[in-house]
Chains A and B, each alone.
Chain A
Amino acid sequence: MKRNPPLLIALTLCCIGTAPGAMAQDKLQTYTSETQELGVGYLSDDAYRFGRYNGLQDEGYYIIGDITATGYREDGFYWRARGTNLGLDSRYLRLDGGFQGSHSYFIEYDELPNNDSDSARTPFQDPGSANLTLPAGFDITQNLNTALHSFDIETDRTRLGLGASFTTRSPWTMDISYHRDSKQGTGRIGGASSGGGGPGSGLLANTNATLMPEPINYETNLVDATLHYVKDKAQFDLAYHLSLFENDDRALSWQDPFRPTSFNSQALAPDNEFHRLTLSGGYLLSDKHRLTGVLSVGRMTQNERFEPYAFVPGPGAAALPRNSLDGEVWLTTAHLKLLSRPMRKLRLDAAVRYDERNSDTPVDTYEFVGRGPIGTQTVENNPLSYQQSQVDLGANYRINSSMSLRGGYKFKRMSRDYRNEERKRTDENTLSAKWKLQAHATVDLALHAEAGRRDGSNYRAPVGENPALRKYYLADRDRARVGASVDYLPSETLSISAAADYTRDDYDNSDIGLTEATQPSYRLDLAYHPRENTSTYAYYSHENIRSEQAGSEAGTTSPDWRADFDDAVDSFGVGARISEIRGKWDIGADLVYTTANGDIDMKNLVPGGAVTPYPDLKTTLTSLKLWTLYRVRKDVAFRVSYWYEDYEADNWALDDLQVDSVPNLLLLGEDTQDYDAHVVTLSTIFQF
C-alpha cells in the first residue's frame, strides 16, 4: 500500500490554512470558515478487501488529513477547499475560487483504488504485461506449482479536473471543464485456446481455458462545454460533450500453458471517441402550461487497428477484409414534455420520446478461426441499430387537502434492426396508479400499483438455439407491481416509516429460459430524538430477488431441468449521536449488519434423474463505528474513534479451488476476501 507523503499533506494544509489570514488584510470584509482534521490511525491487521475502495488495507499507521475551508469577500471574491482522506490512496482534493456571479474556476484531484484480490496465482512471468510468457521449460503436468507466483488484481484510478464558469449580467452563462481519468492496474481475463488434434488447430478443437492477468492501462479525456440561457419564462442549455478513450494495450498475447509451443492473442478494449451535442430547453407557454424538450445528436467512432487472425500467421492465413473497423454509430434523442395545470387541483403531463441508435459500421466477412483451419468458417459482422419510441401520459388530481390520486399510462416500442434479429419489435403498455393520503396530522399513507404487458412481433429463434427459448429482454412479459408505505410521527421526537413492495414478472410464453421473476421487499425505519442534542435511529430491510429458469439438456422444446434462484438480503442498522455533553463532549455509534444468501435450487425433471445441489453463496458484513469528540477550546477538539468490520463470504465459484482443480481449465486459485479489521484513530480538529 502506498502511504501519502506527509509533506504533501502539510504543504496542502499550510497553503490553504494561510489563505484566511491573507484575506483579512484586505479592507473589504472577508468571512472565512475553516476546519482541519489532522491525526493518525492504526489498522490492526492486513485486510485487503477492507481497503478495496478506501485504500486502507495494510497493517500499521496511516495519516488522517481532512480539510474544509471557505472564504467570501464582500466584493464577491471567494474560495473553497475540500480535501478528504488525504493520507490514503482514496484522497480527494478540490479547490474552487473566483468572483461569484462573474467568473469562477475549479481544480480537483481524486484517487480511487480498487482492490479485487490478493490471492491470485499464475505461472505467467510478468502479470500486467500485454505479452504473457511462461518460464522456460514450463510443463503444466510437471512443474506448474513451482512456476506459480502471486499477483494482485487491483487498479488505481486517478481523476484530474479543471473547469471554469463565466457569468454575465445577461441571461448567458458558460461552463467548461476538462477531466483526465486514468486507470492503471491488473484485472483478470479468460482465454480460450486449442488443445490441438483434429484437422487444423482451430480454437474449438479440444478447447482449453486459461484465466490470466489482464493489463489495464486506460486513459479517458473528457471535455464538457455548456452554454446556459436563463430568463424568467424561457431557459435552454446547449451542451457539447467529448470523450476520448485510449487503451495503451491493443491486444493481449499469451503463451498457452497447455501447449507452451503455441501462442494466442485476443483484442483488448479499443480506443474510441464519443461526441454529443445536446440542446435542451424549457418554456412557460402560459400560466398553466410549460413545455420542456431535448434534442441531441451523438456520434461514437472506433477505428483501432485489427490484430491478425492468427497470432502466428501460417501458410493458410487469409488477408483481413480491412485493417480496422471504421466503426461509426449515430445516436439521436428527441424528447418533448408538456405539463399543464388546467384546474387548481389537476395536473396533466404528456411526453413523447424518440431514441435512435443508427450504426454505419461497415459489414464485412471475417474468418472465424474455430474448429477447422483458417478459411473453413466465415462470419459477417452484424451491427445493432434500434429505434425506441415512448409515450408517457400522467394525471395528478388533488382530491382534497389530504388526498391525491395519480394515474399514468406508458407505451414503449423498441424496434431492433440487425440481420436475423430474434424479434423485430417489442411493445410494452403500462398502467400505473398512486394514491396518497394524509390520514391524520401524524400519518401519511401511500399505495401504488403498476400493471404492464410486453409483447411484439413474431419471435424467431436463431439457428442452433433451442426454439422454445425466449431471451428474457425480448420475451412476452406480464409485469405487476404493488407497494405501500406509511409514515407515522406519533410525537415530535419519534418518526416511524414502513414500506413494502412486490414485483412479479411472468414470462408466460417462455418454455425455456427465464420463466418468472419476483422481488418482494419490506423496510422499517425509526428515528428518535428524545432531546435537542440526542438522536438515534434504527432500520431493517429485507429483500428477495427470486427467479425461475428452465432448460433442456436434451435440446428439446420441453424443459428437462429447472432452477429456482433466491437471493435473500437482510440489512439491519442502529445508531446514536449525543452532542454537547457538558458543553464539551460529542459521542456517536453506528452498527450495521448485512447478510445475503444466494440459493440455487436445481431440479432434474427427468424421472429418476439425480442432481447435486449448488452450495449457497453467502456474504455477511458487520460494521461497528464508535467515536467521541472532546472540545478543548472553541476552536480545538480531539477526536478518538474505533471502527470494527468483519466480512465473511463463501463463493463456490472460487473457494477451495486450486489453479489446476478442473481439467482443461487453469484457474487463478483465488479465495474470497474475508477480513477482520480493527481501526483506531486519534485526531485533532481545528476550527477557525
Chain B
Amino acid sequence: MTRPDHPKGKCCGAVIAAWLLLFIGTQPVSVADDTGAAGQSVEAAEFMGMDICEACHEDITIGMRMNPHGQAADSRTPFAGEGCETCHGPGSLHVEADGESAAGMLGFNADKGESTQRQNTACSACHQGGSFLHWPASAHEHDDMACSSCHRVHTPDPVLERTTQAEACYQCHTSIRAQSYQASTHPIREHKLVCSDCHNAHGGMGPAQLRQLSINENCYACHAETRGPFLWEHYPVTEDCSLCHRVHGSNHPALLTQQGPQLCQLCHQDIRAQGRRHVSRFLDFDDADAARGRFIVGLNCMNCHSQVHGSNHPSGAYLLR
C-alpha cells in the first residue's frame, strides 16, 4: 500500500502566515461613516423619547413590540436605547414642526433621499459579525444596495418569511424565477428550499455568496451521499457539482446542464475498439431503436456507468459497480 505524496501548497503557508500576522498584530481602530450615523447627524436635534413617538405612531410602535427590534428587555435592541430615535435619529425638530418636517431624522426609504451608506451605517451599528461578517465588499454591497431594499422593519419582513422570500429575491434575480418553473428544479416554488438556505445575501464565504466554503460543500449539506471520499472518483464531480448540474432549474432531468449521452461525451470519446463503440453509437437517433439504443435512452451512459458520483466497489473502476 502506498499513500500519495502531494506537494503542499507553498502559497497556503504564506497566506496563513499573513492572515495570522494581521489577525494578531493589528490593533483595531475606530471607523466612522463620513456622513454620520443616525442620531449624530444634526446637532441641534434632541431625543424626545418613545412616548412622544407613540402619540402619533402607535400603529407602528405596537407592531414593533411584536418583533425583535422592539424588546426593551434586550439591551441590544433599539427599544432598549432611545426607542424609535435609536435608528431614526433625534426627533425634536420633527416634533416642533408638528410632524410636517423630518429634519434631522433618518428615513429608510430610497425616496426619502437618504444615501444608502447612511441608511446602512445605522443598521450595521448593531448588525455586524455573524452572518453580516462578510457584508463589506460583498456582491450586494458592491451594488450599493440598502438594507431597506430587501428588509422591512415595521411590518413582517418578507425576506425572513420562507413563503415570500423567493419572490423578494426575484425582484432583481428574474432569470432564477424562470428557472424555478422548468422541468427539473429544486423545490423552490413550494418554498421547501429558499434562497437563504444556500446563499447568504449579506456575503458568504463561498462563491456566489454561498453559505459554505465551496459549491460542493453547499450541495453536500443535503446530498451527503455524494460526498465520499470514494474509492473510484469522478474528478469533475469531486471538483465542482455545477460542471454538470444547473442548480436553479433545467429542461433536462436531474438538473443536468445537458441531456446524456452528449453531456458525457464532452469529456469521454474513447478511440479504442471497445470504447469507440460508445462514441459511434449515438450519432443517429435511429440508434434508439437498435441494440445501441442502450447508450441513448433511459439513463443513457448511466444505464451501465451508474456510479457517476463515485464508486466504493473494489471492482468499480470506470464507475460500473
Closest to B131 in A: A237
Number of B residues with CB within 8 Å of any CB on chain A: 136
B290 contacts A by Cβ under 8 Å: yes
Q: Which residues of A contact B316 (CB under 8 A)?
A: 266-267
Is the CB–CB distance between A228 and B129 below 8 Å?
yes
Is the CB–CB distance between A70 and B213 below 8 Å?
no
Dominant secondary structure at the B interface:
loop
Is the CB–CB distance between A396 and B142 below 8 Å?
yes
Q: Which residues of A contact B187 (CB under 8 A)?
A: 52-53, 112, 114
Is the CB–CB distance between A513 and B269 below 8 Å?
yes
Q: List 30 contacting pairs A-B, 8 Å CB cutoff, sorted by A.
A: A54-B190, A100-B74, A228-B130, A236-B133, A237-B130, A267-B313, A270-B312, A284-B28, A284-B31, A286-B31, A288-B31, A295-B16, A309-B314, A344-B34, A356-B9, A358-B6, A368-B317, A369-B315, A387-B11, A464-B275, A469-B269, A473-B243, A552-B279, A563-B262, A604-B283, A614-B285, A654-B297, A661-B289, A662-B294, A665-B298
Q: A285-B26, A472-B267 are in contact. Are A272 and B228 (CB under 8 A)?
A: yes
Is the CB–CB distance between B222 and A664 below 8 Å?
no
Q: Which residues of B contact A521 (CB under 8 A)?
A: 175
Is the CB–CB distance between B270 and A322 below 8 Å?
no
Q: Which residues of A contact B62 (CB under 8 A)?
A: 31
Is the CB–CB distance between B285 and A612 below 8 Å?
yes
Closest to B268 in A: A465
B1, B32, B253, B317 pick with most chain A CB within 10 angstroms: B317
Partner of B15, one of A265, A325, A352, A362: A352
C-alpha gap A512/B271 in the complex (Å): 12
Is the CB–CB distance between A406 and B142 below 8 Å?
yes
Least CB distance from B134 to A in Å reads 6
Of B17-25, B48-56, B89-97, the stretch lying at the interface with chain A is B17-25
B57 contacts A by Cβ under 8 Å: no
C-alpha gap A304/B228 in the complex (Å): 10
Top 9 A-B pairs, shortest CB-CB distance? A101-B74, A235-B129, A76-B73, A555-B271, A230-B129, A233-B28, A269-B225, A571-B178, A53-B187
- The residues of B with any CB-CB pair to A shorter than 8 Å are 1-4, 6-9, 11-12, 15-16, 18-20, 22-23, 26, 28-32, 34, 62, 65-68, 70-77, 128-130, 133-134, 136-137, 142, 144, 162-163, 174-175, 177-179, 181-183, 187, 189-192, 205, 213-214, 217, 220-222, 224-233, 235-236, 238-240, 243, 251-253, 257-259, 262, 265-272, 274-276, 279-280, 283-286, 288-291, 293-294, 296-300, 302-307, 309, 311-318, 320-321
Partner of B19, one of A53, A293, A367: A293
A32-45, CB under 8 A of B: which get 1 and which 0? 11000000000000
Partner of A189, one of B7, B227, B306: B306
Least CB distance from A210 to B in Å reads 8
Is the CB–CB distance between B133 and A292 below 8 Å?
yes
Closest to A374 in B: B315
Q: A209-B303, A321-B1 are in contact. Are A306 and B313 (CB under 8 A)?
A: yes
Partner of A598, one of B11, B251, B266: B251
C-alpha gap A108/B317 in the complex (Å): 42
Partner of B321, one of A203, A269, A552: A203
Closest to A192 in B: B304
A565 contacts B by Cβ under 8 Å: yes
